[in-house]
Amino acid sequence: MTRVVHVSSAHPWSDNRIHYREAVSLARAGYDVTLVAVATAEAPPSGQVRVITVPRLRRAWRVLVSGPRAIVAALKTGAQIFHLHDPELIWAIPLLRAVGRAVIYDAHEDLPVQVLDKPYANAVTRPVLAAVARALCAVAGTSTAVIAATEQVATRFPDTKTTVVRNFPRCVKRRRRRSPSAAGIRTWCTSARSVPRGAST
């Protein structure tokens, strides 16, 4: 059975996209799946996906400590396929490929645009941050394959190895009890919210 490990040093193990949409789907398809991700107050369930947690740390320590710790934990699983979910794990792509692992990079955000909205970005640092982000995308593009959350994000990577997997909720058939005109129109947000993502509007 092919072993796959999803790795994140930034997202909680309960992340919708990583755990429920991707890791669980792989397990149901017959893969041996492990998820290495950030611990939460809630204990991971025992199920089709084995979960290994790393402590949540502040950003600087996350890059220096959590990232390498997560990669080491993932290597110990013996997985042949590594699915990485964070920009701070991009450094591991050439190393993992050098030791014969297949690597999938999952681009959740348009990184060169996202860094411009960081609180520490200003008129002086924005061009530097954008250049670093573009360089990271170039390294991520050397992975075996790339998964992008949107078509815009996909434009940062080679067409021949990039697939778009959107963050749509899973479709569930259910009987409609009331018509939309009677119940009104309701909307739900299925992703994390922040000011750059429109939380203040």
CA-to-CA dists, residue 100 to 26, 95, 96, angstroms: 21, 9, 7
The whole-number average pLDDT for the span 26-33 is 96
Q: What is the maximum span of the chain, computed from C-alpha positions, in angstroms? A: 60
The structure's pTM equals 0.83
Residue of higher predicted confidence among 135 and 47: 135
Q: Which amino acid is at 121?
A: A
pLDDT tens sequence across 65-74: 899 999 999 9
Give the whole-angstrom CA distance, residue 129 versus residue 127: 6
Flag whether pLDDT at 201 surpasses 60.
no
By mean pLDDT, which of 86-100, 105-119, 186-200 is the weakest? 186-200
Residue 119's pLDDT is what?
A: 81
Instruction: Report the percent of the chain where pLDDT is more than 90.
Output: 65
Cβ partners under 8 Å of residue 143, min gap 6: 84, 93, 97, 103, 104, 105, 161
User: Could you tell me the CA-to-CA distances from 72 to 24, 38, 94, 146 in Å, in that order?
Assistant: 22, 14, 15, 22
